């Protein structure tokens, strides 16, 4: 079968392409604005990529078109699919029908940490000898590609609350029917499709409704929005996680920090010490991710001590505080930031790790929600752990310069905020601030105008080996 994918370079649709190719299908796809790591992964898999959306991309007509949720009516390729009566469906529906049916699905949902937690859980199962199938919304460093079928009964999937397609407005994760479900957290996001946080709580409740009574839900002990989602009805077992004594009651899983930056902590199950995680990751968010992954792995038979041993060898995920370069004491990181909470926890983790060494954050408010200004009051405070913050206003957001201007006028604020409207200006300002040692964090959920390699090239020119 020839399957053509619209929006193939998105992390989800690109992973579907890999699975479809592994199933033996001929796979092609179209996208606008192709960039690594997904584009390079697809090219390595021998999957044909077409730049731009045109009716001619459907000649000869494919047997099936999978339509990504970024596609809408008016797109010339979408219109051609409909006009020519070519068979089509959403990516999540195809995945559920062709891959997930009759598998034990372990799903990871939440506003933050889905990709990393999915990768942790997958790595634990891999080290335990499970040949699990998986789909990760990113590129885990411990695996060559973002998806595979696997030969075992289990399938690990990143479960997104975003809608399935323009013709199916249900959240993607409603299609997956997990037996083991991690719900990391729940905050307001995706303002382009959700009116308020209550609408997202309702979608998470719909997900909860699909978990069988002999299934398991793993969740943080402290999250009011998850409380509300579960209060609508829950028919499955629930286990809770926490750090230290942050909740009055005793959670099922708890972490005691042995290092403030989260790089060492003791895992405690039912108040009995299990083992110490000593790893390369930092940040309390990753400690929480790890607890959830350990709990979920236990549900399918991996003992907690084996899970901890695996996490000590976990390499992480590309674009999640990925160290791109170290040039004469100047460290450049890439991070997939899309929400103020994610910005804050990531920068706080780095601050605990590097102490007083300067931290420069280059942040592009690129997600639909951030560009609409929904989180603007939380946006600047979220970068409080940095010394310098340079905001990329590449899409000329009217509210951003005014917001930063007001903030710069505040009294007693140590963080310096600036706005630049081009990548070249961002690099110029960064170079003016850089010193050695120094940590530069590039935060965006997109390609950021290729700033990563451009900045590294300028740093290498300035600080020759």
Q: Tell me: do 232 and 292 sit in the same domain.
A: yes
**CATH (domain of 31):** 3.40.50.720
The pLDDT confidence band at residue 272, using thresholds 50, 70 and 90, is: very high
Residue 200 counted as domain residue: yes
Please tell me whether residue 113 adopts helix, strand or coil conformation: coil
Instruction: Tell me the DSSP string of 374-410.
Output: TTHHHHHHHTTT-SEEEEE-TT--SHHHHHHHHHHTS
Amino acid 43: pLDDT: 85
Of the candidates 17, 87, 80, which has an alpha carbon nearest to the alpha carbon of residue 54? 80
> Would you say residue 100 has pLDDT above 60?
yes
Q: Tell me: do 135 and 28 sit in the same domain.
A: no
Strand partners, 89: 66
Q: Tell me: do 329 and 449 sit in the same domain.
A: yes
Residue 316 counted as domain residue: no
Q: Tell me: do 60 and 171 sit in the same domain.
A: no
Residue 199 counted as domain residue: yes
> Would you say residue 165 has pLDDT above 90?
yes
How is residue 320 written in tokens?
A: 């999640």
Contact 392, 448 (CB under 8 A): yes
Q: Tell me: do 393 and 257 sit in the same domain.
A: no
**CATH (domain of 443):** 3.90.190.20
Q: Find the range with the poorest average confidence among 44-48, 310-314, 425-429, 451-455.
A: 44-48
Instruction: Tell me the DSSP string of 405-460.
Output: HHHHTSTT---EEEEESSHHHHHHHHHHH--SSEEEEEE-SS-GGGHHHHHHHHHH
**Whole-prediction pTM:** 0.84
Q: Tell me: do 345 and 405 sit in the same domain.
A: yes
Strand partners, 391: 363, 419
Mean pLDDT of 324-337: 91
Please tell me whether residue 257 adopts helix, strand or coil conformation: strand
Q: Regarding predicted confidence, which is higher, 215 or 366?
A: 215
Domain boundary among 90, 125, 147: 90
How is residue 27 written in tokens?
A: 């796979």
Q: Tell me: do 326 and 307 sit in the same domain.
A: no
Residue 95 counted as domain residue: no
Residue range of the domain that includes 447? 322-462
Amino acid 82: pLDDT: 98
% of the chain beyond a pLDDT of 70 = 95
Domain boundary among 311, 342, 368: 311
> Would you say residue 332 has pLDDT above 70?
yes
How is residue 226 written in tokens?
A: 């998850």
Amino acid 271: pLDDT: 95
**CATH (domain of 185):** 3.40.1190.10
Q: Tell me: do 71 and 145 sit in the same domain.
A: no
Q: Tell me: do 54 and 144 sit in the same domain.
A: no
Q: Tell me: do 157 and 31 sit in the same domain.
A: no
Residue 357 counted as domain residue: yes
> Would you say residue 396 has pLDDT above 70?
yes
Amino acid 340: pLDDT: 86
Q: Tell me: do 136 and 269 sit in the same domain.
A: yes
Helix spans in 187-283 (H): 197-209, 224-231
Neighbours of 148 (CB within 10 A): 20
The pLDDT confidence band at residue 411, using thresholds 50, 70 and 90, is: very low
- Give the strand pairing for 388-392 and 359-363: parallel
Residue with tokens 């752990």: 385
Residue 96 counted as domain residue: no
Residue 179 counted as domain residue: yes
Angstrom distance (rounded) from CA 266 to CA 277: 6
In three state form, how does the secondary structure of 276-344 look? EEECCCCCHHHHHHHHHHHHHHHHCCCCHHHHHHHHCCCCCECCCCEEEEEECCEEEEEECCCCHHHHH
Angstrom distance (rounded) from CA 163 to CA 312: 35
Residue 229 counted as domain residue: yes
Q: Taking all residues of the chain, what is their mean pLDDT, rounded to a whole number?
A: 91
Number of domains in the chain: 3
Domain boundary among 280, 311, 342: 311
Contact 127, 34 (CB under 8 A): no
Q: Tell me: do 274 and 347 sit in the same domain.
A: no
């Amino acid at each position: 079968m020839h399957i053509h994918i619209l929006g193939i370079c998105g992390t989800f649709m690109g992973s579907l392409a890999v699975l479809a190719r592994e199933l033996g299908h001929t796979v092609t796809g179209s996208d606008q604005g192709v960039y690594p790591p997904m584009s390079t992964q697809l090219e390595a898999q021998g999957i044909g990529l077409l730049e731009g959306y045109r009716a001619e991309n459907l000649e000869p007509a494919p047997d099936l078109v999978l339509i990504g949720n970024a596609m809408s009516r008016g797109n010339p390729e979408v219109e051609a699919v409909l006009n020519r009566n070519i068979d089509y469906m959403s990516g999540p529906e195809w995945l559920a029908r062709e891959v997930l049916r009759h598998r034990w699905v372990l799903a990871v949902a939440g506003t933050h940490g889905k990709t990393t937690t999915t990768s942790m859980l997958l790595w634990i199962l891999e080290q335990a000898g499970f040949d699990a199938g998986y789909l990760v919304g990113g590129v885990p460093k411990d695996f060559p590609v973002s998806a595979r079928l696997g030969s075992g009964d289990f399938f690990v999937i990143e479960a997104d609350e975003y809608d399935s397609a323009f013709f199916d407005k249900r959240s993607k994760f409603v299609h997956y029917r997990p037996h083991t479900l991690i719900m990391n957290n729940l905050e307001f996001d995706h303002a382009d499709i959700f009116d308020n946080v209550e609408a997202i709580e309702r979608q998470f409740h719909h997900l909860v409704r699909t978990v069988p009574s002999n299934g398991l839900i793993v969740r943080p002990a402290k999250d009011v929005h998850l409380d509300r989602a579960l209060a609508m009805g829950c028919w499955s077992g629930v286990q809770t996680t926490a750090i230290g004594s942050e909740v009055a009651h005793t959670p099922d899983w708890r972490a005691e920090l042995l290092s403030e930056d989260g790089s060492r902590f003791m895992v405690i199950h039912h108040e009995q010490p299990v083992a110490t995680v000593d790893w390369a990751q930092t940040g309390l968010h990753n400690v929480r991710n790890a607890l959830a992954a350990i709990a979920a792995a236990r549900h399918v038979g991996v003992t907690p001590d084996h899970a901890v041993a695996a996490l000590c060898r976990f390499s992480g995920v590309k674009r999640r505080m990925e160290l791109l370069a170290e040039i004469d004491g100047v460290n450049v990181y890439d991070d997939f930031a899309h929400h103020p909470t994610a910005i804050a926890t990531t920068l706080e983790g780095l601050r605990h790790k590097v102490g007083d060494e300067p931290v420069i954050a280059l942040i592009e408010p690129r997600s639909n929600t951030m560009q609409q200004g929904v989180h603007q009051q939380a946006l600047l405070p979220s970068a409080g752990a940095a010394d310098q913050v340079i905001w990329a206003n590449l899409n000329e957001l009217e509210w951003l310069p005014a917001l930063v201007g007001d903030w710069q006028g505040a009294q007693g604020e140590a963080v310096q905020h600036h706005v630049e409207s081009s990548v070249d200006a961002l690099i110029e300002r960064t170079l003016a601030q850089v010193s050695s040692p120094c940590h530069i964090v590039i935060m965006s959920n997109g390609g950021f105008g290729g700033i990563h390699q451009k900045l590294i090239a300028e740093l290498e020119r300035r600080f020759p080996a």
